[in-house]
Structure 1
Amino acid sequence: LHQFDPQDVNYNMPSVLQVSGPLDVKRVEDVFCQLIARHATLRTRFELIDSEPMQWIEDTVPFAVEYTKVQAAGTTADTDQDTTTDTYTRVNIEAQQLVSRFVRPFDLQAAPLLRVGLVDLGVQEVEQEAQHLLMLDMHHIVSDGVSLEVLTDEFVRLYDGEELAPLRIQYKDYAVWQQSEAHQEWMQRQEAYWLNTFQGELPVLDLSTDFARPAVQSTAGDTIEFALGREVSERLKELAAQTGATLYMVLLAAYTTLLHKYTGQEDIVVGTPIAGRPHAELESLVGVFINTLAMRNYPSSDKSFLD
């Protein structure tokens, strides 16, 4: 995919953390150097050798935090309120522009496939203390969502002076295990199961939308967040407990039912991300374990919701 369009950033994994209070820039850089030394994945690059993609793990890699300072809002007692608000807005706009420019293509042949940026917003009138934006960007080829959580957690602990227990295994050990004879036998059983599950004609969801489904899908979109009230949340948990199901299973059933109500279709495939970390020792590794599981459900009209 990278070869199709080396300038594509769809597989970048950026995140921005706001840090309030004093921050030691040199210490931030030192901690990330420790993390790069700790996780072989962060020293991994990729090359084609005889048309085969190969991963190379470097002993050391060049790294530096990209540091930028923007002028903070005024904090003096006689600062006009409107001026302070305007300055605060300007700082936010400039910070957003810096974040946007921070996300750019990676060269997969050059490690680390991680970059870190720090935006110093100064002492702002609203918070009355130093503010920083800590920007992270990793390529998906070496990372997933859980990895981002691992990296963030370990950064905070190392910055606080905590010593982390050494990692017993690295991602390359997981890759070798995946190729083992025992795992291959297990994979053959998995393959047989899934081929059986998806035999026959596969359904395509036919939602009534404003426009026809495009031949080439776009990644343009948005995220909508909402919260359930406490009463609804408790009732859902009760339903899960009464039926011996997890809350996830209840919500998946509700989602499948909703799609059935919209379309009238009784054969629906829902893709769901899975962490893909079946062993406890994998939970603290940075790497690509995530996968998408396609679940084929049959919400036929003669079934009750409990069914």
Structure 2
Amino acid sequence: MSDPASAATTGEFPLSVQQEFLWEGIRFRSFGRSIASRGNPSIAVELAGSLDPGRFRRALKLMIRRHEPLRTTLTDLGPAPLQKVAEDLEPPLAYVDLAETVPGDRRPATARALVAGDQGGEFDLVAGPLWSCLLVRVAPSLHVLSLSFSHLIIDGVSLVGFLRQLGRLYEGEDLAPLKQQYRHFAEESLRPAADAGARVEYWRDRLLPLPGRLPFPTDYSATPPALISFEEENFRSPLTPRQLREVSVRNSATPFMLNLAAYAAVLARTGGAERVVIGSSVARLDLKADDDQLGYFLDNIFIPVLVRPKDTVGELVRQVRSAVVEAQRNILPYTELAAALKPDFEQSRPWPGIHLYDAWVRGRVFEAATDTAASASFGETTVKLFPAPSGSAPRAVLDPRHQEAYSRYYLPSLYLNDAAGSNGYIEYNRAAFAQNTIRRLAAHQQAFVSRLADPQTRVDEAWRAVKSTTEGKQRLS
């Protein structure tokens, strides 16, 4: 591997194995176009106080010189593109002054609309740039800053790393040189694991047969749905953080494992299935050379869960705990994993990872970063998160080749916001579900977590208790 200290600041290099999984999905969703428009990691903050736009732009230029991912594009849209690092890049900064053009009572809504447009924007993966920066002047001493990136060049934890470093550069601080650039991490990731063969066999044993479309009741009859339009429904646990910690200790499991086990049980029991495969992301902070390094450092794991009615909920959690640990121990590059599970993988590409799981449950990958955004500073400004609208605009699925795979997006996914697992949201397709149905699903999931307080309770008993406490106003299906 080349020496990070003497590495060139331009050139081409392959995707990391972490990016390969992501790229397969992006390529599939882009329908051969040179853009990607969904799942952009984004953050928006409100800056209260004096802000100098000239100093801000200079800080952006320094960030671009400091981090290769901010100058990165792809060479092509094929199955194995190279990443290309430009020598320099003009900051992709849009500055909008509402203070002089929009009445005061309309400025907050206008700012929210501008942020939503920025965060839902599309990036040309070949032409670049693969990120955008929007600075909105709402009042003389109030700005809103929105940052949005293609997922290929950044992960959620890196969002706040970007924000903090940008603030330090704005304040004139000299930052220590990075220990390495993302290219060096990518090169290292391509080295095959010594036990790669054993990992292949592990996944063949766990994921075959591949998940089918889980039988699960929807509110609308389109199968597959003609539209994909994502919305988020927030939830909060009926248990206090202290009670959740006690449940975790009683089951010798993390809050993430508890929520995953409960969600798998609710999906399986509602759909009348026994096996559910849950996909998830693992933030690999251990792979970063230093805290300031930006890039995509997520690995993806898949957890098959057998929801047997006669098992105790304690046995269910232990099964999940073991599966999560083993999945992390056997992480495999996506192309190798897919080829092992689907012999005609190369002929079927793009073949996204959504074929490998029924639903997604994510721990606090992004939220763990964004809830600390206030620790950033820009001179004398006060920094706090700016709430941007959630959800996405409806998108029609017209190509028959994509309808079967896109139909798999119908199953709602669960996202946790805090370390205690006490709140989060469910992302769902409005073309398949009504809001009240998702509220009921969230209530079922959280009620099942509560039932884990007694590990000796059987799964079928816990499910009956969950339904009896949350049923009544509306049926799930």
Give TM-score, length-normalised by structure 1.
0.82
Determine if the alignment matches structure 1 residue 13 to structure 2 residue 13. no
Alpha-carbon distance in structure 1 between the residues aligned to 2:106 and 2:78: 52
Match of 1:224 among 229, 233, 242: 233
Aligned partner of 1:207 in structure 2 is 216
Aligned partner of 2:183 in structure 1 is 172
Match of 1:164, SS?
coil
Aligned partner of 2:81 in structure 1 is 53
Change (3 A) 1:216 1:192: farther
Which range moved further: 159-168 or 292-301?
Answer: 159-168
Determine if the alignment matches structure 1 residue 91 to structure 2 residue 100. no
Conserved 8 A contact 2:41-2:148: yes
Match of 1:59, SS?
coil
Match of 1:48, SS?
coil
Shift, 1:3, TM fit: 5.8
Match of 1:226, SS?
strand
Aligned partner of 2:56 in structure 1 is 28
Shift, 1:198, TM fit: 1.0
Alpha-carbon distance in structure 2 between the residues aligned to 1:223 and 1:201: 28
Shift, 1:41, TM fit: 1.0
Which range moved further: 260-269 or 41-50?
Answer: 41-50
The one-letter code matched in structure 2 to 1:166 is P
Conserved 8 A contact 2:44-2:147: yes
Change (3 A) 1:152 1:219: farther
Alpha-carbon distance in structure 1 between the residues aligned to 2:221 and 2:301: 26
Shift, 1:247, TM fit: 1.7
Shift, 1:155, TM fit: 2.1
Match of 2:232, SS?
coil
Shift, 1:213, TM fit: 6.2
Aligned partner of 1:106 in structure 2 is 123
Alpha-carbon distance in structure 1 between the residues aligned to 2:228 and 2:300: 17
Alpha-carbon distance in structure 1 between the residues aligned to 2:80 and 2:214: 36
Determine if the alignment matches structure 1 residue 146 to structure 2 residue 154. no
Shift, 1:158, TM fit: 3.0
- Large movers: runs of 4+ above 4 Å: 49-52, 216-219
Conserved 8 A contact 1:69-1:120: yes
Conserved 8 A contact 2:115-2:146: yes
Aligned partner of 1:121 in structure 2 is 138
The one-letter code matched in structure 2 to 1:199 is L
Shift, 1:243, TM fit: 2.7
Match of 2:205 among 191, 196, 203: 196
Determine if the alignment matches structure 1 residue 273 to structure 2 residue 281. yes
Conserved 8 A contact 2:76-2:126: no
Alpha-carbon distance in structure 1 between the residues aligned to 2:236 and 2:280: 20
Match of 1:30, SS?
helix
Alpha-carbon distance in structure 2 between the residues aligned to 1:132 and 1:226: 30
Change (3 A) 1:242 1:97: closer
Conserved 8 A contact 1:269-1:297: yes
Shift, 1:89, TM fit: 3.2
Determine if the alignment matches structure 1 residue 159 to structure 2 residue 170. yes
Match of 2:185, SS?
helix
Shift, 1:137, TM fit: 1.7
The one-letter code matched in structure 2 to 1:92 is P
Alpha-carbon distance in structure 1 between the residues aligned to 2:78 and 2:235: 49
The one-letter code matched in structure 2 to 1:288 is Y
Conserved 8 A contact 1:236-1:250: no
The one-letter code matched in structure 2 to 1:222 is E
Shift, 1:72, TM fit: 6.3
Alpha-carbon distance in structure 1 between the residues aligned to 2:226 and 2:47: 36
Shift, 1:176, TM fit: 0.9
Alpha-carbon distance in structure 2 between the residues aligned to 1:72 and 1:13: 30
The one-letter code matched in structure 2 to 1:205 is L
Change (3 A) 1:37 1:298: same
The one-letter code matched in structure 1 to 2:138 is L
Conserved 8 A contact 2:133-2:145: yes
Change (3 A) 1:40 1:218: farther
Alpha-carbon distance in structure 2 between the residues aligned to 1:283 and 1:45: 23
Conserved 8 A contact 1:6-1:105: no
Conserved 8 A contact 1:44-1:112: yes
Aligned partner of 1:126 in structure 2 is none
Q: Which has the higher contact order (CA 8 A, sep 6+)?
A: 2
The one-letter code matched in structure 1 to 2:115 is V
Q: State the identity %.
A: 24
Conserved 8 A contact 1:8-1:105: yes
The one-letter code matched in structure 2 to 1:159 is Y
Change (3 A) 1:261 1:147: same
Aligned partner of 2:255 in structure 1 is 247
The root-mean-square deviation of aligned C-alpha atoms, in Å, is: 2.8
Alpha-carbon distance in structure 1 between the residues aligned to 2:146 and 2:107: 16
**Larger Rg computed on CA atoms:** 1
Match of 2:303, SS?
strand
Give TM-score, length-normalised by structure 2.
0.54
Shift, 1:283, TM fit: 5.0
Aligned residues: 286
Match of 1:222, SS?
strand
Which range moved further: 53-62 or 216-225?
Answer: 216-225
